[in-house]
Amino acid sequence: VLHVLRPCGAQVGSLHPLYAFGTAIADPEVLRGVHWCIEGDATAKHVAHRLIGDLGGHVSEIQPEHKILYHAAAAVAGNLITGLISVSFSMLAHCGIAPDQARAMLIRLSEGVLQRIKAEGEVVALAGPISRGDTAIVAQHLEQLRTLPAVYETVYRSLSLELVALARRKGAAPVTALANIEKLLQG
């Protein structure tokens, strides 16, 4: 939308922080270390680099045609993770576990996984039944999930297919077991 300003001599660009602004921030220090994506005219990008540098942030440049996919990736990592965690809380509620207890249990687990991903990458951090090629456990998960609202099984199947791909890259599980798990998940 800013391109209409170019005929007036303006240099245009955009900068987007990878930070979740659920509410207004009182302390700009929260932006220290945040990653930002920028694009635009050379002068606008130069100004963005300086501004982000003053905030102690990190800059990546992106082509305009990739901005929507970039934003979708940010939504998955920053927003959909909230929905994923909410689904897991609800699953524990079906087990009779109180919300506060579920939150304490699963947040600790998720924080540990995120720390492993940060330190070693998602392939090395992968753990659990798919990582081991445990077809029987995955089948039991799917059987149990069929008794709950469809969203739980849909989330499990969709994300587990990505885990099969990661497990193949990891190379720790038998290839045939991963193929069987993939068939289960697609069925």
Measuring CA to CA, which residue among 21, 18, 54, 24 is closest to residue 37? 18
CA distance 76 to 65: 19
Could you tell me how many residues make up the chain? 187
Token couple for 11: 């240099």
CA distance 120 to 63: 28
The per-residue pLDDT for 2 is: 83
CA distance 152 to 146: 8
* Residue given tokens 């391109």 in the structure block: 3
Indicate if the pLDDT at residue 28 is higher than 90.
no
Give pLDDT tens digits for 151-185: 999 999 999 999 999 999 999 999 999 999 999 99
CA distance 14 to 147: 47
Strands 58-61 and 35-40: parallel
Indicate if the pLDDT at residue 134 is higher than 80.
yes
Token couple for 170: 């990891």
Mean pLDDT score of the chain, rounded to an integer? 94
Q: Which residue has the higher pLDDT, 142 or 9?
A: 142
DSSP readout, 70-84? HHHHHHIIIIIHHHH
Give pLDDT tens digits for 68-83: 999 999 999 989 999 9
Q: What is the rounded average pLDDT of the residues 15-42?
A: 87
DSSP readout, 27-84? -GGGGTT-EEEEEE-HHHHHHHHHHHHHTT-EEEE--GGGHHHHHHHHHIIIIIHHHH
Token couple for 151: 């969203």
CA distance 99 to 95: 11
Q: Which residue has the higher pLDDT, 22 or 187?
A: 187
